[in-house]
Amino acid sequence: MIYKRSSQLFSEAKKVIPGGVNSPVRAFKAVGGEPVFIERAKGAYLYDEDGNKLIDYINSWGPLILGHAHKPVLDAVIEKAKKGTSFGTPTELETKIAELAVKMVPNIDKIRMVNSGTEACMSAVRLARGFTGKEKIIKFAGCYHGHSDSFLIQAGSGAMTFGTPNSPGVTQGTAKDTLLAKYNDLENVKELVEANKDEIACIILEPVAGNMGCIPPVKGFLEGLRKICDETGILLVFDEVMTGFRQAAGGVQERLGVNADIVCFGKVIGGGLPVGAFAARNEIMNHLAPDGPVYQAGTLSGNPLAMAAGFAMLTELHDNLEIFESIDKKTEYLHKGMDKVLNEAGVSFSINRIGSMISVHFGKEPVTDFQSSVRSASTGKFNKFFHGLLENGIYIAPSAFETWFISEALSYDDLDKTIEEVGKVAETL
Ligand SMILES: *Cc1c(COP(=O)(O)O)cnc(C)c1O
């Protein structure tokens, strides 16, 4: 394929935008090469600035569960825009989307809208601290909760109690309040809780991890965390920015039957516009301003265009629950097909999947946490895999640490074409 215009646009972008992108992973640094500039998209396909057509497995990193430019969502936004784009006052639609979300998601009474997943997680942690009066949090290596300071922490080797920042600009003071645990390792969490008794406000995690590849929780992991939290008064925060309204109408809480105390949303809830949200039962949410002392605000929070897109998206899902089964089946079909052709090609690999999230890892060992994900990525095969697929019109995320998001717009023909190309690329690995 030819990427002449994309390449030109990237050179121009780099002069005025850091790295040429407004979010780092878009720059293709992990896989090499230059990013593809997209001109438009429809359904399962992206059309780039050079006229190439690509089958999309990213779907704007998750939000577009029904595919690109989905008509009911587009229509809702266009109609809303004609009436004005933002008022900075309450609007009826905010109540309607809140009612719908509370109906779809188990175990929540109230929800507050923000503008991104980052904001949702940042606010959820502040609320947890305000509610419990404790300062420390436990997060898991490899889980991403947006780019606010508390979450950009990695453990110093051997030091489990005190984190060290892994981005310049994050202070030691902030880092020391974030304790780092190993995903899928309940004993590790128990030790951390024991060593920091009565200091921990919350445990935050992706209940299905999607930012180190797709890593489902092992049996008993979420239940075990729930038990620890019940015994200690620590709040359990599910970051469902990726999984909310995707793993089921009610997210992972519904799919795996474990309740969280606070839930964060983003991605699907905005239908492709910038929306995040966090939600909990009344007892917790009533601590939030203006009812309570925990401050949180936003000039454009709940703005009409974003709410119109989100409401249309949630309505589509709520009224057509069979979509969840359908995307799960498509993902399973893709899994089985890729499994077959990768085996035939004789490469060492593993595929992780739950619901409509799936990732392919190269290497012999199963990928169950951040360390095993890093080891599998270090085989170096992913980059060749990525570029091989891109060259043949299949667009997956440009990093071995990302999940593929299956949309309902993908047809079985698209999946067959993908499996065929995966097979051909695998022969070259
Ligand atoms: C994408 C994501 C975020 C951050 O959301 P933004 O809208 O990019 O700020 C937080 N948590 C998880 C699990 C995510 O996948």
Kind of pairing, strands 357-362 and 110-114? unpaired
- Selected residue with higher pLDDT from 187 and 164: 187
| Closest-CA residue to 242 (of 131, 117, 127, 326) | 117
Asked if pLDDT for residue 420 goes beyond 80, the answer is yes
Of ligand 1's listed atoms, the one at least distance from the Cα of 242 is: 15
Q: What does the DSSP 8-state code read for residue 220?
A: T
On whether the CB atoms of residues 180 and 367 are closer than 8 A, the answer is no
CA distance 62 to 265: 12
On whether the CB atoms of residues 156 and 164 are closer than 8 A, the answer is yes
Measure Cα distances from 63 to 6, 71, 292, 299, 405 in Å.
Answer: 24, 15, 31, 22, 9
Is the beta carbon of 63 within 6 A of some atom in ligand 1? no
The pLDDT of residue 162 is 44
Angle at the Cα of 414 from the Cα atoms of 248 and 5, rounded to 5 degrees: 105
Average pLDDT over residues 338-353: 98
Last residue of a domain, one of 285, 319, 353: 319
The residue written with tokens 């719908």 in the block is 100
Q: Which of 239, 261, 328, 414 is catalytic?
A: 239
How would residue 379 be classed by pLDDT, with cut points 50, 70 and 90?
confident
How would residue 153 be classed by pLDDT, with cut points 50, 70 and 90?
confident
Best of 23, 123, 211 for a ligand 1 pocket test (most atoms within 8 Å of beta carbon): 211
Last residue of a domain, one of 319, 348, 368: 319
Examine the domain organization and report whether 259 and 285 are in the same domain.
yes
CA distance 222 to 232: 15
How would residue 1 be classed by pLDDT, with cut points 50, 70 and 90?
confident
Average pLDDT over residues 280-285: 98
Last residue of a domain, one of 319, 348, 370: 319
Asked if pLDDT for residue 369 goes beyond 90, the answer is yes
Examine the domain organization and report whether 236 and 275 are in the same domain.
yes
Examine the domain organization and report whether 311 and 373 are in the same domain.
no
The pLDDT of residue 380 is 84
Average pLDDT over residues 119-127: 98
Is the beta carbon of 44 within 6 A of some atom in ligand 1? no
Examine the domain organization and report whether 227 and 339 are in the same domain.
no
Is the beta carbon of 241 within 6 A of some atom in ligand 1? yes
Examine the domain organization and report whether 235 and 212 are in the same domain.
yes
How would residue 156 be classed by pLDDT, with cut points 50, 70 and 90?
very low
Q: Which of 136, 139, 267, 381 is catalytic?
A: 267
Tell me how many domains the chain contains.
Answer: 2
Examine the domain organization and report whether 214 and 225 are in the same domain.
yes
Is the beta carbon of 242 within 6 A of some atom in ligand 1? yes
Asked if pLDDT for residue 206 goes beyond 60, the answer is yes
Tokens linked to 104: 């779809």
Active site residue 48: no
Give the mean pLDDT of the chain.
Answer: 95
The SS3 call for residue 225 is helix
Q: What is the pLDDT of residues 40-82, one digit of tens each?
A: 999 999 999 999 999 999 999 999 999 999 999 999 999 999 9
How would residue 154 be classed by pLDDT, with cut points 50, 70 and 90?
low
Active site residue 144: yes
Of ligand 1's listed atoms, the one at least distance from the Cα of 119 is: 9
Q: What CATH number has the domain bearing residue 40? A: 3.90.1150.10
Ligand 1 centre distance from Cα of residue 302 (Å): 18
Strand partners, 43: 68
The pLDDT of residue 160 is 37
Asked if pLDDT for residue 84 goes beyond 70, the answer is yes
Q: What CATH number has the domain bearing residue 137? A: 3.40.640.10
Q: What is the pLDDT of residues 139-152, one digit of tens each?
A: 999 999 998 999 88
Examine the domain organization and report whether 198 and 308 are in the same domain.
yes
Which positions ≥6 away from 204 have C-beta within 8 Å?
121, 124, 125, 128, 137, 138, 139, 143, 145, 237, 239
Asked if pLDDT for residue 158 goes beyond 50, the answer is no
Examine the domain organization and report whether 247 and 346 are in the same domain.
no
Of the chain, the percentage scoring pLDDT greater than 90 comes to 89
On whether the CB atoms of residues 201 and 125 are closer than 8 A, the answer is yes
**DSSP string of 102-158?**
HHHSTT-SEEEEESSHHHHHHHHHHHHHHHH---EEEEETT----SSGGGSEEEPTT
Here the contacts of 75-78 (C-beta below 8 Å, separation 24 or greater) are 75/312, 76/308, 76/309, 76/311, 76/312, 77/273, 77/305, 77/308, 77/309, 77/312
Which amino acid is it at 376? Answer: S
How far does CA 233 lie from the centroid of its chain? 27
Asked if pLDDT for residue 164 goes beyond 70, the answer is no
Which amino acid is it at 257? Answer: G
**DSSP string of 338-395?**
HHHHHHHHT--EEEEEETTEEEEEESSS---SHHHHHHHHTTSHHHHHHHHHHHTTEE
Examine the domain organization and report whether 31 and 97 are in the same domain.
no
Residue having the nearest C-alpha atom to atom 8 of ligand 1: 117
Examine the domain organization and report whether 163 and 127 are in the same domain.
yes
Structural domain boundaries enclosing 315: 71-319
Q: What is the pLDDT of residues 217-262, one digit of tens each?
A: 999 999 999 999 999 999 999 999 999 999 999 999 999 999 999 9
Ligand 1 centre distance from Cα of residue 62 (Å): 10
Examine the domain organization and report whether 58 and 122 are in the same domain.
no
Asked if pLDDT for residue 97 goes beyond 70, the answer is yes
Active site residue 75: no
Asked if pLDDT for residue 157 goes beyond 60, the answer is no
How would residue 6 be classed by pLDDT, with cut points 50, 70 and 90?
very high
Examine the domain organization and report whether 285 and 379 are in the same domain.
no
